[in-house]
Structure 1
Amino acid sequence: MSLLGREVFWPPADELTEVAEKIRARLGEWPAASTRWRICLTMPDAPGAQDLIVFTEPRSENFSVGEAAVIEAYGGRAVFNRADACYALEGEWSDNWLDALAAFLDCNFDPHDALVLAMAWRSGDEQKDDAWPTDFATFPRVADLPLAPESAFPSCPDALGLYPVLPAAEWVERVLDLDVCTAQLRRKTTDVADLKQEIERSVAAGRKHQAQLFINDHWREAIDAGAYGVHLGQEDVEVSDLNAIVRAGLRLGLSTHGYYEMLRALHFRPSYLALGAVFPTTTKVMPTKPQGLARLQRYVALLKGRVPLVAIGGIDGKVLPDVLSTGVGSAAVVRAVTEAPDTETAVSALRQTFASLNAEKNSEIGR
């Protein structure tokens, strides 16, 4: 876990490295960083792919940074650029934010998420036993976003419970018949007629059981069918008519894969956030590496009570108790239901895990 003895800053800066190590020591155990980033305070002679060049004032001239990534941080704004990716943040930061950035990079966070945490860091936090940033007021805002919808999306229960994500209306009907209250239709098809029929049939099943039935991606068809809600990915937000969705009274769930995307999603005032992928999953190609339980626990600590949260990605009956122990109010499952030898038995066991946890919470409250 030691940062000393390796090149963390360029030019070499022993004092910065020592402070970074003090901060890192208070952040707990994390997987070793997959990239050993070097934070460059001046332009290196030959910028490399593992260099993160920091400018704290406007550049006087344009020059090539090669394969290096760049952070420009001044005037209350910090922008991270790498290849074709750009992440812009606004807010305040402490004098030792660069030390904190080095520490969070060493915790194996991607640079844009490490930058969010570094901006949320406050001088003196390294004196705390648990120094992880959890005060939402210190976190930056994502900049350069389109306007949020005219009003917030309708609310949904804070704890959505067991949340199966299902491939067909037949599955939706079968699972809702087993007293599941929340489900999502993720129908992968280019057949317009099939899609319309599947969504209408699923929405009808949701109404029959008074369940929270979300439609993945296909927001126009979901509006036409009168669905309870829609679930969108990060890439869908700017190409979907969010005002049309909110005017139709549908709830909105948004996928997130880290701190930056969580802050970005909150700008649009959704009904819930999905946090993932917690574990490796084969149901879809993920844009980021698995988050793991430790990160999930940190996300919940920051956002619980602010917006309903759903854990998603590789969750089955074996890991569900550990997932729920983080305090998240819902867990989405896919293969744990659709590939189970016996659907009824699988759903019953998953629901029992939620019931047992709720019983434990109520028992603790009553003490």
Structure 2
Amino acid sequence: MRDFELYVITGEEFHPERDVVEVMEEAIQGGADIIQLRDKTSDKKTVFEKAKKLKALCASYDIPFIVNDHIDVALAVEADGVHVGQEDLPLTEVRKLVGPDKIIGVSSHCLSEAITAEKEGADYIGVGPIFATKSKVDVVDPVTTSYIQEVKAAISIPFVAIGGIKKHNLQEVVDAGAERVCVITEIVAAEDVKQATIDFKQVLIEAKQ
């Protein structure tokens, strides 16, 4: 889990005319290191079918595939891991369900949540939203880059910055201490997803130099 830089989450509402598998394959070809399926509106069978296809896709490129929230679906398709929020099952219970070898990521919005996630055995932590974002409803207020600095100083497991991150503010995120970033609209909403991913990753590489 330490060897990734660019984490891309699905956002099918931002490309309604295109298949999610096709879009995510272009993102992988452009340099995405890890993919997450996030679908909070479809029925369980539909989520399962998408997850099965995305798991096969990620396996073909040898990158991790994560399922958001749907632990049963993640287990059914043998996903590499799950990502849960603060309102989902406690991490300790998730670990009992998925076993010791699956990746578990936890969203955090303040340092106490991040510290708790690390203590309970999270493999990585989502840190955000850094900036205002339209990719998620009922999102909390932006935590700003100061939260990145807090987590960087207090947490030893990998963390990924998320929320409103674009090419134009990426340097600010990296300067605050983030080595890994998560993106949705900046990539999946692009007309040319592969090129958008290439461009974003190049900016990320340059920002870290």
Under TM normalisation by the shorter chain, which class is it?
0.7 to 0.9
The 1-side partners of 2:39 and 2:137 are apart by 16
Q: Residue type matched to 2:26 in 1?
A: R
TM-score of the two chains, using structure 2 as the length reference: 0.87
| Correspondence for 1:171 | 23
Long gaps (5+) in structure 1 = 1-155, 361-367
2:191 maps to 1:341: yes
Contact 1:169–1:185 (8 Å) recurs in 2: no
Report the Cα offset of residue 223 of structure 1: 1.3
The 2-side partners of 1:184 and 1:278 are apart by 19
Deviations 1:207-230 (A, max 9, x none): 000012211111111112111111
2:112 maps to 1:260: yes
Q: Residue type matched to 2:197 in 1?
A: V
Partner SS state of residue 332, structure 1 = strand
Find 2:79's aligned residue among 219, 224, 227. Answer: 227
| Correspondence for 1:319 | 169
| Correspondence for 1:52 | none
TM-score of the two chains, using structure 1 as the length reference: 0.51
Matches within 5 A, 1:84-95: none
Partner SS state of residue 178, structure 2 = coil
Q: Residue type matched to 1:244 in 2?
A: L
| Correspondence for 1:208 | 60
Deviations 1:325-363 (A, max 9, x none): 2222211011101222322221111111233245x2xxx
Change over 3 Å in CA distance of 1:174–1:184 after alignment to 2: same
Contact 1:271–1:308 (8 Å) recurs in 2: yes
The 1-side partners of 2:31 and 2:142 are apart by 30
Report the Cα offset of residue 192 of structure 1: 2.5
Long gaps (5+) in structure 2 = 12-19
Instruction: Tell me which protein shows more helix as a share of its residues.
Output: 2
**RCO greater where, 1 or 2, for CA within 8 Å and sep 6 or more?**
2
Aligned residue pairs, count: 200
2:161 maps to 1:161: no
Report the Cα offset of residue 180 of structure 1: 1.9
| Correspondence for 1:90 | none
| Correspondence for 1:188 | 40
Deviations 1:119-151 (A, max 9, x none): xxxxxxxxxxxxxxxxxxxxxxxxxxxxxxxxx
The 2-side partners of 1:267 and 1:298 are apart by 16
Partner SS state of residue 288, structure 1 = coil
2:202 maps to 1:352: yes
Report the Cα offset of residue 287 of structure 1: 5.0
Report the Cα offset of residue 295 of structure 1: 2.7
Contact 2:127–2:147 (8 Å) recurs in 1: no
Deviations 1:255-281 (A, max 9, x none): 000022112222321110011010011
2:102 maps to 1:245: no
The 1-side partners of 2:191 and 2:6 are apart by 19
Deviations 1:221-249 (A, max 9, x none): 111211111111011133953212124x2
Partner SS state of residue 168, structure 2 = coil
CA RMSD of superposed structures (Å): 1.9
Q: Residue type matched to 1:289 in 2?
A: D
Deviations 1:32-79 (A, max 9, x none): xxxxxxxxxxxxxxxxxxxxxxxxxxxxxxxxxxxxxxxxxxxxxxxx
2:145 maps to 1:301: no
Deviations 1:281-324 (A, max 9, x none): 11113453211112322221222xx1001000110111112111
